[in-house]
Amino acid sequence: MFKIDVDVPQHKSLVSVKTTHNRGFNAEEVSKDCVSKLISVSDSTHPAIREQANAYKSQMERIVAYYMREAIRSDRTTVYNALIDAGHPKLAELIRRL
């Protein structure tokens, strides 16, 4: 039998819920969540290092958001072409305009 011990920090929130109203999350919102999972900066870090780390984190949020928007555009192109191939040019045009 295996025994696994997991040390879970008590001061950190393990679960969070975020919602939107009548829309999905945009690239900026998702990129912020993504980067916050990848990069964290301790409150006890030296102020100069913390400032530099937070600047890096902000830059990464912008980069991730940019590439997410590119992926969204690429996916819409794929959907557009699939609708054209399926004989639905009007619906394809509506998707292209999004």
What confidence score (pLDDT) does residue 6 get?
66
Distance, in Å, from the CA atom of 17 to the CA atom of 15, rounded to the nearest integer, reads 7
The DSSP string of 18-42 is ---SSS---HHHHHHHHHHHH----
- Dump pLDDT digits (tens) for 16-30: 889 999 999 999 999
* pTM for the full predicted model: 0.75
pLDDT tens-digit series, residues 30-39: 999 999 999 9
Rounded-to-integer distance, Cα 24 and Cα 45, Å: 35
Cβ neighbors of 96 (< 8 A, separation 6 or more) are: 76, 80
* Rg (alpha carbons) of the chain, rounded to whole number: 20
